[in-house]
Amino acid sequence: KQEVTQIPAALSVPEGENLVLNCSFTDSAIYNLQWFRQDPGKGLTSLLLIQSSQREQTSGRLNASLDKSSGRSTLYIAASQPGDSATYLCAVLRSNDYKLSFGAGTTVTVRA
């Protein structure tokens, strides 16, 4: 069974600081990994998708890396802003059934 763990569970930083969010998964048989953002009481917004053959993806201030063999991904957010405050979820797409397994999320607060 695929287990996805996100560390830390919560993070509070001053504006301008870089954010580092970690995700680990137990089964390396994945097709891809997605990072999502969720605002309180809302749905999920897809931030980045990394295919299993890729090492990283970048979009603006966001960069995500993937080390499939060791079962780890890291999301970097550069020069954080108060608008980055949200919960960030990592999810892996399982190879055997095309279903997503989610981590519990990291709740980020960026202080102005």
Partner 1 sequence: SAVISQKPSRDICQRGTSLTIQCQVDSQVTMMFWYRQQPGQSLTLIATANQGSEATYESGFVIDKFPISRPNLTFSTLTVSNMSPEDSSIYLCSVGLAGGPSEQFFGPGTRLTVL
* Structure tokens, 108: 């980020």
CB of 40 to partner 1, least distance (A): 10
Chain centre to alpha carbon of residue 108: 12
The number of C-alpha atoms within 13 Å of 6 and in the hemisphere containing its C-beta is 24
* Nearest to partner 1 of 17, 63 (CB atom): 63
Residue 75 CA to residue 65 CA, distance in Å, equals 7
Residue 98 within binding range of partner 1, rule CB under 8 A: yes
* Nearest to partner 1 of 53, 69 (CB atom): 53
- Please name which of 106, 97, 84 lies closest in space to residue 5, comparing C-alpha atoms: 106
Residues 37-96 that bind partner 1 (CB under 8 A): 41-46, 49, 89, 91, 93, 95
Footprint of partner 1 on this chain (CB under 8 A)?
A: 31-32, 34, 36, 41-46, 49, 89, 91, 93, 95, 98-100, 102-105
